[in-house]
Amino acid sequence: MNDTRTITVTVNGKAYTKDVPVRLTLADFLRGELQLTGTHLGCEHGVCGACTILLDERSARSCLMLAVQANGHEIMTVEGIAPSADKLHPLQEAFRDNHGLQCGFCTPGMLTTLIEFLRDNPDPTEREVRIAISGNLCRCTGYQGIVLAALDAAKRMKAAKA
Amino acid sequence: MKPPPFQYHDPKTVAEAVGLLGRLENAKLLAGGQSLMPMLNMRFVLPDHVIDLNRCEGLAGIKEAGGALEIGAMTRQRDLEFSDLVKAKCPLLEQAIQHIGHRQTRNRGTIGGSLCHLDPAAELVSVCAAHDATVVVEGPNGRREIAFADFPVAFMTSSIELNEIVTAVRLPLWAPGHKAAFIEFSRRHGDFAIVSAAAMLEIGGGKITRASVTIGGVAVAPHRARDVEQAITGQAPSSDLFRKACESCRSIEALEDIHASSSYRQHLAAVLSRRALEKAAGLADNAPWNKVH
């Protein structure tokens, strides 16, 4: 009963071909097979949001997908957000400047969630930001810094575009 | 590895999926995975076979046909959320979707998956009950249609056979310009509703000509409050009328669990159904509880 499949997945612009057990979750595939350990696993049953990735530019919980389901799809993880190794994305800079993280465990899921949200809603209200991150649990910050960071990031991203 | 061992199948057509489902023992269908995957990860379910419908053609899409909105079973909740057709024709569905989980789960979760999982608090299940939907299923003997009133049979159990697949759901459309509201009470945003209420109204000549009132989360299946519907039809909409009519919701036989007692759910049913009707009728614009969910 160790059914395996060969899959090809593009992660952060790079194509990987691997044999995977069919019951391997996408989160464990990213962390264990590709050593992309930026994607965090909190609850592993779709509650905490730490494992959020973008699948074909839509946010999804990678603990609630099988790696085989990602075959032929494009994934972006937290490692793919920064434009280069020495430059942060404006969203990441806003998190740093607004105390948007403390221990950092929830941060990968917060960032991937907000990348999609700010793309779809570049000029959000505070309430909209709070709803957007309602599926991501943070046990350090009380969310205040994260909300401020998201609102600040929206301004920075708008300014960068202008 | 979190999920238990299983064999994986990803059929490309409904016929292939039906064939697999008929042939394989102890098989589970995987739609959006937002309920089955947690249950696999926690090993609450131990299937020998998982049949993944995500590569099955022709199961996703939203169209208007024969006075109804026809929605493919694998249509993602997100695609319903951003559909202009849903927004224009089915305001109850548009509002209900805002309460389903979070963006990350709506991006994957499907309408067919939600109906088959049949959680008592599920918003899409309530919308189907409110709209008197028809569920379309396919099995080895072909296609059949199930009226939504006959769809739930027990706690999280529907009347589809083990060898059948839900392929679509049809929501008969109400008159253009009809009013609708979906509201719910939950502890946190995106959490399961403790109680929800869905109201639809057609109003003509200052009188209610047609009404649908559905309470979710109180019983194993959504409860259509027929006595409320009857009491308000033919009347001019007013807060007083709704308040009196919705008192009957206090006698619904309500579930009791760790989140709320039966009597608390009955209280919520009366309050939320009244609020949903007020909101639908445009009488709640200044009410303190009436924010953008």
Taking alpha carbons only, the member of A34, A66, A53 closest to residue B1 is: A66
Which residues on B lie below 8 Å from A28 (Cβ)? Answer: 1-2
CATH fold for the domain made of A4-80: Ubiquitin-like (UB roll) (3.10.20)
Using alpha carbons only, give the angle B181, A60, B197 rounded to the nearest 5 degrees. 15
Angle between helices A90-97 and A107-120 (to 10 degrees): 120
Tokens of B174: 């109400």
Q: So what's the pLDDT on residue B138?
A: 98
Which residues on A lie below 8 Å from B34 (Cβ)? Answer: 46, 61, 64
Cβ-defined contact of B104 to A5 (cutoff 8 Å): no
Using alpha carbons only, give the angle B215, B283, B272 rounded to the nearest 5 degrees. 20
Taking alpha carbons only, the member of A55, A112, A122, A51 closest to residue A81 is: A112
CATH 3.30.390.50 residue window(s) in chain B: 179-280
pLDDT in tens, A25-84: 999 999 999 999 999 999 999 999 999 999 999 999 999 999 999 999 999 999 999 999
Is residue B1 within 8 angstroms of chain A, CB to CB? Answer: yes
Buried b (16+ CB within 10 A) or exposed e, B79-91: bbbebeebeebbb
Q: So what's the pLDDT on residue A113?
A: 98
**Nearest residue of chain B to residue A70 (CA atoms):** B54
Residue B95 has pLDDT above 70, yes or no: yes
Residue B274 has pLDDT above 70, yes or no: yes
Mean pLDDT, range B178-193, rounded to an integer = 93
CB nearest A69 (choices: B41, B54, B102): B54
Q: So what's the pLDDT on residue B253?
A: 95
pLDDT in tens, B226-237: 999 999 999 999
Residue B176 has pLDDT above 80, yes or no: yes
Second CATH level (architecture) for the domain B179-280? 2-Layer Sandwich (3.30)
CATH fold for the domain made of B1-53+61-173: 3.30.465
CB nearest A2 (choices: B5, B10, B105): B5
Q: How many Å apart are CA B279 and CA B181, to the nearest integer? A: 6
Q: How many Å apart are CA B183 and CA B269, to the nearest integer? A: 11
How far does A102 lie from chain B, in Å, by closest CA? 23
* In chain A, domain spans: 4-80, 90-161
Is residue A32 within 8 angstroms of chain B, CB to CB? Answer: no
Asked if B178 contacts B202 with a C-beta cutoff of 8 angstroms, the reply is yes
Q: So what's the pLDDT on residue A161?
A: 85
With residue B224 as reference, give the H or E element that holds it: strand B223-224
pLDDT in tens, A93-135: 999 999 999 999 999 999 999 999 999 999 999 999 999 999 9
**Residue corresponding to tokens 């793309």:** A119
Cβ-defined contact of A66 to B52 (cutoff 8 Å): yes
Taking alpha carbons only, the member of B228, B219, B71, B229 closest to residue B153 is: B219
How far does A54 lie from chain B, in Å, by closest CA? 9
Q: How confident is the model at residue A147 (pLDDT cuts 50, 70, 90)?
A: very high
How far does B238 lie from chain A, in Å, by closest CA? 31
Q: How confident is the model at residue B191 (pLDDT cuts 50, 70, 90)?
A: confident
Per the prediction, chain B carries an average pLDDT of 96
Mean pLDDT, range B64-85, rounded to an integer = 98
Residue B292 has pLDDT above 80, yes or no: no
Taking the domain A90-161, which CATH number applies? Answer: 1.10.150.120
Q: pLDDT over 70 for what percent of chain B?
A: 99
Which residues on A lie below 8 Å from B38 (Cβ)? Answer: 45-46, 64
Is residue B6 within 8 angstroms of chain A, CB to CB? Answer: yes
Asked if B55 contacts B31 with a C-beta cutoff of 8 angstroms, the reply is no
pLDDT in tens, B123-170: 999 999 999 999 999 999 999 999 999 999 999 999 999 999 999 999
Cβ-defined contact of A64 to B37 (cutoff 8 Å): yes
Taking alpha carbons only, the member of B124, B168, B125 closest to residue B146 is: B168
Mean pLDDT, range B74-81, rounded to an integer = 98
Residue B207 has pLDDT above 90, yes or no: yes
Residue B244 has pLDDT above 90, yes or no: yes
DSSP A70-118: GTT-EEE-GGGTSSBTTB--HHHHHHHHTT--SS-SSHHHHHHHHHHHH
Is residue B28 within 8 angstroms of chain A, CB to CB? Answer: no
Q: So what's the pLDDT on residue B73?
A: 98
Q: How many Å apart are CA B31 and CA A82, to the nearest integer? A: 33
Q: How far is CA A27 from the centre of its chain?
A: 11
Cβ-defined contact of B37 to A131 (cutoff 8 Å): no
**Of A1 and B259, which is predicted with more confidence?**
B259
Q: Is the pTM of this model over 0.90?
A: yes
Q: So what's the pLDDT on residue B293?
A: 52
Is residue B235 within 8 angstroms of chain A, CB to CB? Answer: no
